[in-house]
Structure 1
Amino acid sequence: MRTCPCCKKYGDVWEVELQSLDNHKFVMCFECDTIWDSIANVPDQHVSDFEAFMNEQGKDPDWTLIKKVQRV
């Protein structure tokens, strides 16, 4: 388990698959709802909350389509 680089909370960071994005894997913090596209310690690319991220992808932010793969 590790600390979220965005909210600094410890432990609720997961590798997830988003079914609405062809099961592409992302990393998501379930404390602050932040999502990013890398398992790097500190995300250096675009970081966004889940709802804004899905809207940017042209998808509805459907929380039921998040599949937790493993805690990171």
Structure 2
Amino acid sequence: MIAPGPVATELFKQASPPDAAQTKALLAAVPLQRVSEPEEIAHAIDFLLHPLSGFITGQTLHIDGGLTISATRI
């Protein structure tokens, strides 16, 4: 399973302008200090679909820049 954090989609960009307080709070909570690009999520999906990943099962891959494991909650 892929569990993405915030992704820089067109909808995200419209709903979360860079200068908005909620966007600044979100970025401050993400250890990598940015949101992911759609391509980064696609790469993870490609990895899991590759035959060399055939023995990976029942796992959740969090792609969130460390948000899941950080102490900060938004």
TM over 0.5: no
- Of structures 1 and 2, the larger Rg is shown by 2
TM-score by length of 2: 0.26
Ranked by relative contact order (alpha carbons within 8 Å, sequence separation 6 or more), the top structure is 2
Q: Which structure has more helix as a fraction of its residues?
A: 2
Q: Which structure has more strand as a fraction of its residues?
A: 1
